[in-house]
Structure 1
Amino acid sequence: MSKLHITSLSKHFDHQPVLQNLSLQVEEGEFVSILGPSGSGKTTLFHLIGGMMEPEEGSIVLDGEKINGKRGSISYMPQDHALLPWRTVLGNVILGQEIHGRKDEARAKEWIVRAGLSGYEGAYPDELSGGMKQRVAFIRALMSPQSLLCLDEPFSSLDEFTRLDMQKWLMDIWEDDKRSVLFITHNIDEALFLSDRIIVLSGKPSNVQKEFRLPYPRPRDEKMILSKEFLQHKKEIFRELTKHVQHD
């Protein structure tokens, strides 16, 4: 399991600040979601954590090691499933391991079965539904050796019913794995259902404006979505997000 500590992070594009003095942390086995207005730099933050770009200021420390500009430290799942069309389900699942010089097909097949994809090991992405593709992409992220998962709106392209099924499936899998997760979403219900803690970003230049620590026990039950406590948290987060949108 991983501990992530980001301190006083700033990033500019063409001299325009996108992130400014941003600090946050993810503790071992914690599921943290990030909400914020469009254009608030959420994906930029993931690119910085993943080493695809470097900040002008600040530090990104994972398990005590500074990883500014260092690639390969996290397992990253983008908005698009990014499956390779010429590789089978099994081939896509073990891709992350192959990149790191490892290959455990037996374990990969176990995860495929757990994902409800038994019999699809030899199928190609264009033979799968949207939800099935997202499951393959998530298993690939789990199979990668890094202990921090960064998930960038992985369910945004799915319809509402498939999305809820994927959320419940993700929770079932994560309860067993308990890897540290940093999760980007625009969906307040999704963040509340999945997370231990929610971080709300301001508009640009973005920093952490508010955190919500959630009291809901695990494993989560979808009935919680209709509870008064859930709706109250939703109202508070909505007010926070609307306030920042109005300020932009």
Structure 2
Amino acid sequence: MSTLQINHLTKSFEPHTIIQDLNLVVNEGEFVSLLGPSGSGKSTIFHLIGGLYEPDQGTILLNGENIIGKKGAISYMPQSPSLFPWRTILENVVLAAELFERPDKRKAKKMLKRAGLHDYIDAYPHQLSGGMQQRVAFVRSLLSPQSFICLDEPFSALDEFTRVDMQKWLLSIWEEERPSVLFVTHNIEEAIFLSDRILVLGERPAKVTEEVHIPFERPRTARLLLSPELLEIKKRIYRILRGS
């Protein structure tokens, strides 16, 4: 497991400042969501954590180690599954592990079985639905040797029912493994349902304007999505985002 700490992070793409004096912490085994309006810099934050960009100032520490500009320090799941069409499902999920060490295909098969994909181990991505492809991508991120995972709106392209099913599935797998997760979304309900804490970003330049602790016990069920308690938190976050 891993702890991520970001201190006084600033990033500009001339002439615009995208992120300014950003501070956040994701503790060991914690599921934290970044919630903000479109264009608020959420994906840029991920690119900085992943080493694709370097900040103008500030620090990014993973387990106390500076990872600025360091690629491969974290596991990353983008909005699209990004599966290689010429590799089987099993070959796709062990890809990240192949880059660092000899992959454990026995563990990979076990994870795919838990994901309901045992019958598709030798299939190719085009033979799977969008939701199934997202499951493959998440299994791949869990099998990566890195213990910190960044999830960048992985369910945004799915229909509402498939999205809820994927949220429930993600939680069931995450609660067994408990990796540290930073999750980007613009969906308030999704953030509440999945998270231990929600960090609300303001308009660009991005900084955390409020931190919302989610009081619901785990494991969580879909019934929570219709509860008055969740609705109250949703209203509160909506008002924060609207600035009222």
**Residue equivalent to 1:120:** 120
Query: Deviation above 4 Å: which 4+ runs of structure 1?
Result: none
Within 2, Cα distance between the matches of 1:230 and 1:161? Answer: 18
Equivalent residues, number: 244
2:40 partner amino acid? S
**Residue equivalent to 1:183:** 183
Match of 1:200, SS state, is strand
Within 1, Cα distance between the matches of 2:197 and 2:147? Answer: 18
Match of 1:146, SS state, is coil
Within 1, Cα distance between the matches of 2:194 and 2:101? Answer: 32
What residue ranges of structure 2 are gaps of 5+ in the alignment? none
Within 2, Cα distance between the matches of 1:161 and 1:219? Answer: 20
TM superposition score normalised by structure 1 = 0.97
**Residue equivalent to 1:138:** 138
- Identity among equivalent positions (%) equals 59
2:85 partner amino acid? P
Task: Tell me by how many angstroms 1:224 deviates.
Answer: 1.5
**Residue equivalent to 2:229:** 229
CA RMSD of aligned residues (A): 0.9
Within 2, Cα distance between the matches of 1:23 and 1:15? Answer: 22
| Range 95-104 or range 54-63, more displaced | 95-104
What residue ranges of structure 1 are gaps of 5+ in the alignment? none
**Residue equivalent to 1:87:** 87
**Residue equivalent to 1:61:** 61
**Residue equivalent to 2:30:** 30
Which whole-Å deviations, capped at 9, do the CAs of 1:36-61 have from their partners, x for residues lacking one?
A: 11111100000000001100000000
Within 2, Cα distance between the matches of 1:82 and 1:240? Answer: 34
**Structure 1 residue 219 corresponds to structure 2 residue 219:** yes
Within 1, Cα distance between the matches of 2:82 and 2:241? Answer: 30
Which whole-Å deviations, capped at 9, do the CAs of 1:144-190 have from their partners, x for residues lacking one?
A: 01010100000001000000000000000001000000000111110
**Residue equivalent to 1:96:** 96
**Structure 1 residue 4 corresponds to structure 2 residue 4:** yes
**Residue equivalent to 2:111:** 111
TM superposition score normalised by structure 2 = 0.98
Within 1, Cα distance between the matches of 2:141 and 2:76? Answer: 7
Match of 1:119, SS state, is helix
Task: Tell me by how many angstroms 1:2 deviates.
Answer: 0.5
